[in-house]
A and B are shown apart, each in its own frame.
Chain A
């Protein structure tokens, strides 16, 4: 269970996230969607304890990411935007390192590693050093190390970014499996069709705010568009118009006064 309440985060004068509240339930895939710069990554970074919010709360299974980062870290598996590997370690060593940092060891750790290797179909590269790995192979290693401790909450920042069709499908299958085990998945993407096909709930972000929220069907009803991509474009347009209108009103007020 992931919960965000009135989150705000700014970098100097730029407001990255403003008044963002949502929750991602267990047994559901929650999609964060929006164009680049909408605030998806910042929201996620606050949730997985790498950034601190200016105000508001980010909670994972009821633990506060700022007050209790270690409790949060224990309950999450993260695939961040940055997913660099160590070129001189093998894929298996990456997974083992993260498993150990989660306090796993011995036989339990080794069998968990084996399981991840099978789940992600990466046995052919498991004992190769990761230097020169393709994007797909890199992603598999990054996913395996993020999930080896079987976290109850999984956060994936644009996991299919830059992947070929086969790898994207493998990722989607795995995400569904995690959901079916009753775990909580927060998933960000800017690929509309992917979110539509995969997510149980969708949160649309634009300019650091939530502009719409609901099931894919809800969102379709809301805008009268069946295709989520159209929905998204519509929302973005509305957002722009809204902004223009507000500016116009502000200007009018100034002129009136």
Chain B
């Protein structure tokens, strides 16, 4: 019985693999996510691991007025460089320097008189890459401030502790030690996208396409129950989807390992077992996604119409994941019942190096598989429709 199903699936796979362009494209799509994420981690990782204080250079104007500050900075191992630029604000806005510290003409007098002296730090807060460098400059200014205060208070025989009632130390409890770990959260929505895109071309071509080319009518006159035709095409699309998702996961693993070896960005490098779980979690969604594709391809009137519907579809499951990148949601049983939603949470946990609840994983897989099977039965019923074979 299932021999015919396999004959149909094999024909669809052969047919689709011979379509070079769409095959290559559908195998390149899965790489977009990993490459993009890798680039993000590399970029953000390098900006966030800025040079240490010792290597920092404060760009200043009017530093001749503040020899004490220059001396202090050099003492700390950093350096101050004077700039001749006329329009300081413009230079910062254009990104020529991360920040420019400006000492006014009367700085020396005010400072010498132990009065409060104003200095100006020009920054561009919309420039993400400057954050670390600005932080270093601010840190040096604060150190100088405190150091000077200590000296002055001591000269007046006051205990400097009076001036600083609080000392704060923050304790970071995140499992991923680096902020770039947040980008790992983007893996789940990217994977959802892969799942809904991976075998979609084959699903459309094998149903709506076959109908439009007029080859479905003679095909359905062969002595095979209609549901077996549906199942054969379904299996072929599923295998293609699985291949695309597997490629994506292998690419993620390779890129993360590569970045790990370079010592850039992520401190948490999900292991092989984590990725195996990720793939297992994806399987029920693949079953569901392909069933939806078969239904849409059967119901829509043409290849084009099918493409329109199925082009929008991947956005839907990817959406909750996109939000969760910034607002992580707690795992809960009801969330596991919602296909793609539960998996997004669980995949996020896996790649962040947390251990998800195995019961939740099983529940999520089961719930989505049930939905997939219901949809599959619907697809088989639709294949029995009389006008199934005809384009009009």
Contacts and interface: CB of A to CB of B under 8 A. Distances in A.
Contact of B14 (A83, A89, A98, A101): A89
Contact of B15 (A79, A81, A88): A88
Contacts of A76: 221
A145 B223 CA distance: 13
B11 interface: yes
Contact of A50 (B14, B213, B220): B220
Given A78-B218, A93-B14, 9 more contacts: A76-B221, A79-B218, A84-B213, A88-B15, A100-B4, A101-B222, A102-B223, A129-B18, A146-B218
Closest 9 CB pairs of A and B: A84-B214, A82-B214, A84-B215, A73-B223, A84-B213, A101-B222, A88-B18, A82-B217, A74-B223
B222 A85 contact: no
A48 B221 contact: yes
A102 B214 contact: no
A89 B213 CA distance: 14
A81 B216 CA distance: 11
B222 A102 contact: yes
A83 B214 CA distance: 6
23 contacts: A50-B220, A73-B222, A73-B223, A73-B224, A76-B221, A78-B218, A78-B221, A80-B217, A81-B217, A82-B216, A82-B218, A83-B214, A83-B215, A83-B218, A85-B215, A86-B213, A87-B213, A89-B11, A89-B14, A89-B18, A97-B7, A98-B222, A100-B4
A102 B18 CA distance: 25
Contacts of B389: 50, 82
Contacts of B221: 48-50, 73, 76, 78, 80
B113 interface: no
Contacts, number: 75
Given A88-B19, A101-B223, A51 B218 contact: no
A1 to B, nearest CB: 18
A51 B389 CA distance: 9
A142 B221 CA distance: 13
B225 A86 contact: no
Contacts of A103: 223
Interface string B188-221: 0000000000000000000000100111111111
B75 interface: no
Contacts of A10: none
Contact of A51 (B15, B225, B386): B386
Interface string B1-37: 0001001100100110011000000000000000000
Interface of A: 48-52, 70, 73-74, 76, 78-89, 93, 97-98, 100-103, 129, 142, 145-146
Given A82-B215, A83-B214, A86-B15, A52 B222 contact: no
B217 A101 contact: no
Given A89-B14, A89-B15, A101-B224, A52 B386 contact: yes
A86 B233 CA distance: 15
A117 B4 CA distance: 24
Contacts of B14: 89, 93
Contacts of A93: 14
Contacts of A101: 4, 7-8, 219, 222-224
Contacts of B219: 101
Interface string B57-75: 0000000000000000000
A237 B88 CA distance: 96
Contact of A97 (B11, B213, B217, B225): B11
Nearest to B390: A82
B294 to A, nearest CB: 19
Nearest to A155: B221
A195 B110 CA distance: 114
Contacts of A85: 213, 215
Nearest to A80: B217
Contact of B218 (A52, A80, A100): A80
A146 B218 CA distance: 8
Interface in B237-295: none
Contacts of A145: 218
Nearest to A73: B223
A74 B221 CA distance: 9
Nearest to A146: B218
B26 to A, nearest CB: 15
A119 B390 CA distance: 30
Contacts of B224: 70, 73, 101
Contacts of A86: 15, 213, 215
Given A52-B386, A88-B15, A70 B225 contact: yes
B230 to A, nearest CB: 14
